[in-house]
Amino acid sequence: MNAAVISALPNDRKDTRNDARFRWLLTAAALFVLVSLAGAALSMLWGGRSVLASEGLNFFFSTDWNPVENKYGALVPIYGTVVTAIIAMLIAVPVSFGIAFFLTEVAPRWMRAPVGTAIELLAGIPSIIYGMWGFFVLMPVMRESMIPWLDEHVGPLPIIGALFRGPPIGAGMLTSGIVLSIMVIPFIASVMREVFMTVPARLKESAYALGATKWEVSWDIVLPYTRSAVIGGVFLGLGRALGETMAVAFVIGNSVNFTTSLLEPSTTIAALIANDFGEATEEYRAALLLLGFVLFIVTFIVLALARLMLNKLARKEGN
């Protein structure tokens, strides 16, 4: 230290220079984050430009996906991606809310922390495990009992019946939706739980003091306070469900033929890419890259909305 003070002058200049260098280094790293996201989008668009030029809007509205004849109409995988994600959300959101409500208000105190931790750990299990489980355990169950039952009892109904008719194959959008929902439940539930715990205790206690029930506190106090963040958490889960590859690739059936039935094999963007990219021709790869770009844009919008919603609550907390 003393030595540094004595030789202050030359060191000063060196320090200033080093400081500037250090700062530039860090700034470059931060800019790299920006560049990588833009690069991801642009490189896929660039890779798929030939197909975009030859197919135009047909790419989004045609169901004719035939790599042999170089025809690429991506409506089936796009439709499959959206439908499986919707099924997953229909199951996962109420269940996750139930779990979060249970863990913050209902469960006995000694139970809350361990179960909460367990759910957070489960959210980290690789998605391929869910896919393998779906393939070996859920698909036989669907094939043998669930699908025949749905086909017999729901299939004859008007309008919605068309969704539930089909041969008992086991692979399809319904099975994929169920596997996806199980995968995102721990994820959404842990976000909701964390968000619910940010509600100031005095708000909840005031309501309890006025005689409100647990349900009323959750529904009328906690939920309105955290609404934007809860929606943000749901959108984060939706983003995961839309872009999930491995959990779906095992159980979707990989068929590019259009079907209205949730019980028949179909495909999603991510599953189609995962299955076909390795053996694809150059032109086909371009089509899959373009499809990847579409997936990227869709998830980007969903995730951007999610972040905006989550940031709203953070601002309310004063961070």
Partner 1 sequence: MSATIASVAPRNNTGLYRRRRITNAVAIVLACAAALFGLAFLGWILWTLLAKGLAHLNLALLTQDQPPPLEAGGLRNAIVGSLMMCGMGVLVGAPLGIAAGTWLAEYGHRSKLGTTVRFVNDILLSAPSIVLGLFVYAAFIMQTGGNFSAFGGALALAFIVLPVVVRTTDEMLRLVPVQMREAALSLGVPQWKVTMQVLYRSALPGIITGILLAIARISGETAPLLFTAFGNEFFSLDPSSAMSALPLVMYKFAGSGYENWEQLAWSGALLVTLFVLAISLIARTVLLRNKIAND
Identify residues 124-183 at the interface with partner 1 (CB under 8 A). Answer: 124-133, 135-137, 182
What CA–CA distance (Å, rounded) separates 287 from 60? Answer: 12
We find the least distance from the C-beta atom of residue 283 to partner 1, in angstroms, to be 14
**Which residue from 52, 107, 162, 231 is in contact with partner 1, where contact means CB under 8 A?**
107
**Which residue from 60, 307, 314, 316 is in contact with partner 1, where contact means CB under 8 A?**
307
Q: How many residues sit close enough to partner 1 to count as binding (CB under 8 A)?
A: 94
310 in Cβ contact with 234 (< 8 Å): no
What CA–CA distance (Å, rounded) separates 214 from 203? Answer: 13
**Residue number, 155 or 237, with CB nearest to partner 1:** 237
Q: Which stretch binds partner 1 (CB under 8 A): 55-63, 70-78, 257-265, 268-276?
A: 268-276
Q: Does 32 bind partner 1 (CB under 8 A)?
A: yes
Residue numbers 182-201 binding partner 1 by CB under 8 A: 182, 185-186, 189
Q: Which stretch binds partner 1 (CB under 8 A): 146-154, 158-166, 212-220, 259-267?
A: 212-220
Q: Tell me, rounded to whole angstroms, the distance of Cα 44 from its chain centroid.
A: 20
Give the count of alpha carbons within 13 A of 198, CB side only.
21
**Residue number, 80 or 155, with CB nearest to partner 1:** 80
Of the candidates 270, 260, 258, 106, the residue with the CA atom closest to the CA atom of residue 183: 270
What CA–CA distance (Å, rounded) separates 225 from 219? Answer: 10
Residue 36: Cβ within 10 Å count: 9
**Residue number, 2 or 158, with CB nearest to partner 1:** 2
